[in-house]
Amino acid sequence: MQDRELYRQILGIESPWKVERVDLRRADGEVHVFLEHDEQVRWRCPQCNAECALHDHQPERRWRHLDTCQYRTILHAQPPRSDCHEHGPRVVRLPWAEASSRFTALFEALAISWLREASQKGVAELLALSWDEIHGILERAVERGLTRRGTEPIPHLGVDEKSFRKRHRYVTVVNDLDRSRVLFVSVGRRKASLDGFWETLSAGQLTSIEAIAMDMWDPFVASTREHLPDADQKIVYDKYHIAAQLSKAVDQVRRAENKLLRASGDERLSGTKYAWLRHPANFTEDAWREFRALRESDLKTARAWALKETAMRLFDYHRESAARAFFELWRGWASRSRLTPMVAVARMLTARLDNILTYLKHRITNAVSEGLNSRIQWVKATARGFRNQQNFINAIYFHCGGLDMAPAH
């Protein structure tokens, strides 16, 4: 009697369920708890919640529970099926576990909390589970979390891409910039990859979107224009992506010039790659003084660097008319520079200027997305890579989705 009452309280078992017996198997290192229910119980249909008579029982099932001291604890019961007039026989909801799970809700909650901090392989080893079992817990957690998501407004979005494996294999990631969470992940970085996101939104969510930050990838732009009302007023080309394009052009100028200089014995540009790419705010005082001789020289790279730094002042403006006037001056300078990479970037920015200047209204960037990308990189590194794209997507949702994934019971 004492052990049955103890496990009834530990497990939170309430009427009509009761602990029928407890079997300690010391040789196996296990405690087996057998559950039964009272007679003449009315059961609720899990689909419509109507009270029903008992139809029959399923064969006995087992659920792994939290360990009792050093003993693995296993629950046993025969799940009843309700006899619903509308839906027919249905397995009733059990108070200790969710449908189709071989683990109690408390055990799954423990596994989920550990999975937040460690790899699936590590948690599986600590809990003595197979990879399939621990992966099933993660998949069910993600499914629960996505199902529970509400339709709250999402004013500011970010669209980014993340490499899945080598050979240019990507996933498209849509982020909620205000809540710093991943909303949607899909395979590839085609227009269709982003099209699927819009289908997940309610009409209210769609109209709540005020701005969406992205790089200048045409398939993403095309998808947004097709699905988002007034898209051209809401698309904001990410200023950090623009800075990256300018930096890439500066580096192209540096590499070409360094090759010519070294051929004549001039080593001024050797080993200076990251100095030209570094943001001025990230220099130490001594390093900035050392860099002065290079940036004030007559090198082509110095002119390219000056063009890059000046271009980024565009984002300090607040009035569009003043920003356009500034950009026209900068574009003329870049076009006359005779630096082919800088001329190419100037043309690209000119063609996309309207959605660069939307930044002045919305003031959003993909900085939050970059932070989430760092977390995604940790997920990939912890797992030592993913062979299956859907597993990678589930892991992103699990760690970065901001989901409520706890079992219901």
User: What is the pLDDT, as a whole number, of residue 313?
Assistant: 97
In angstroms, the CA 223 to CA 297 distance is 45
Confidence bin at 3 (pLDDT 50/70/90): confident
Closest CA to 234 of 251, 270, 209: 209
Cβ neighbours of residue 209 closer than 8 Å, sequence gap 6 or more: 154, 155, 156, 157, 228, 234
- When pLDDT is averaged across residues 223-237 and rounded to a whole number, the result is 97
In the chain, where the domains are located: 1-84, 239-362
| Per-residue model confidence as pLDDT tens digits over 343-386 | 999 999 999 999 999 999 999 999 998 889 888 888 888 766 66
d(C-alpha 409, C-alpha 405), whole Å: 12
List, for residues 71-121, the tens digit of each pLDDT value.
999 999 999 999 999 999 999 999 999 988 999 999 999 999 999 998 888
Average pLDDT over every residue of 334-338: 96
Cβ(276)–Cβ(295) under 8 Å? no
Phi, psi (rounded to 5 degrees) for 243? -60, -40
Residue 166 has pLDDT above 70, yes or no: no
pLDDT score for 379: 85
pTM of the model: 0.87
